[in-house]
Amino acid sequence: MAANGASCEQPQKRAGAKDKQNGKSTDSSVRERRQKDKEDRLSLVVWRRPVTTLHYFFLETLVKLNEWTFRLWQRRGTVFLVLVLCSLLSIAYSTEGAHQQYVNYLERRFLWCAYWVGLGILSSVGLGTGLHTFLLYLGPHIASVTLAAYECSSTDFPEPPYPEQIVCPQSGGVEGSISLFSIMSKVRLEACMWGAGTAIGELPPYFMARAARQSGADPEDEDYEEFEEMLEQAEGAQDFVTRAKLGVQHMVQKVGFFGILACASIPNPLFDLAGITCGHFLVPFWTFFGATLIGKAIIKMHIQKLFVIITFSKHIVEQMVSLIGSVPKVGPSLQKPFSQYLEAQRSKLHHGGGSAPADENWLSWVFEKVVLVMVCYFVTSIVNSMAQSYAKRLQQQRHLEEKTK
């Protein structure tokens, strides 16, 4: 009997070992297939396969438009109320009366806030590579206001033309009356709106991870797949980047609101992971968004704003220009365009921003071209990203058909 029992156990052990081996081989084959699919998708870029990339981009655009139309139809009651409200506002806007001065004021404020919120969303929403709108738009705006405030000894710039153009007030100001806090209050609205836009741009990873966790479906996002793999291999993590990601994940998961607030309050390239973590562990929406909004629109924004204002304060700028001139051999030739640029800006402030000379400065030309290149790269990255998303749809459809056969 014992011999028969032992002989029965041996085939069962062999079968169990064989099942484990089959499971491991299946996992490895799935992993290899996913890696191959990912490499195929990443090769789909405009500069390698332009025709296919553009074709897939237009198809993905049609798919997204179809999905958004269906979602709007599902919420047609809300859409109808929004349309009614817009119609009432349009009537009030077009009707003449004493209320027009308030309407015009609200219009200017709304468009100004919407402009900065939109730039903030573009900076963090994750379309392609993201557009660095702080470096391209908000930072230069704060720097211009700082330089103008010290030059004019006032922040009471005439409106209009401010904010489109900065001109010193006719009355002028008291020399030395400009303080750090007066400049901060002058740019507070646009800075906070930009920060609020970056907080809104962090919502897609949160909603994607939350929907995937609640539905139990396979995630369609590369970052979420990497997040799940990171959780599975957490114990064996050795490299610094993985440990940093795990640190963010543990802080958000264990500390909650204040952990999210800490991650959002400092420049943090891994914050997308915080959104995915919150969605994966079903953190309440207002806990995540409230902490993100406070961290990005108030705390982090004031840190960045303070840094730019200090950097472009009058004495710091003069010291930097003189420091450039002290560089051996090339210093004077580099110092000259910077000095000319600053002098041209001072002249514009005092003379109503008259037309600039044709050969004003090559610094402005270089900055314009840098902005153009970065915007073009951002648009290209969106095209590549959407084309790769459509390629992933085709791959998933192909694998599903192979399973059903």
pLDDT in tens, 241-263: 566 666 666 777 777 788 888 87
Nearest to 379 by CA among 80, 211, 129: 129
pLDDT at 294: 92
Instruction: Note the pLDDT of residue 193.
Output: 93
pLDDT digits 0-9 by tens, 317-355? 777 767 777 777 666 777 667 676 676 666 666 655 544
Residue-range domain boundaries for the chain: 128-312
Alpha-carbon separation of residue 276 from 242, 280, 381 (angstroms): 15, 6, 22
What is the pTM for the complete model shown?
0.71
For the chain, which residues score pLDDT lower than 50?
A: 1-2, 12-13, 15, 17-18, 20, 128, 354-359
Instruction: Give the pLDDT of residue 13.
Output: 47
pLDDT of residue 217: 55
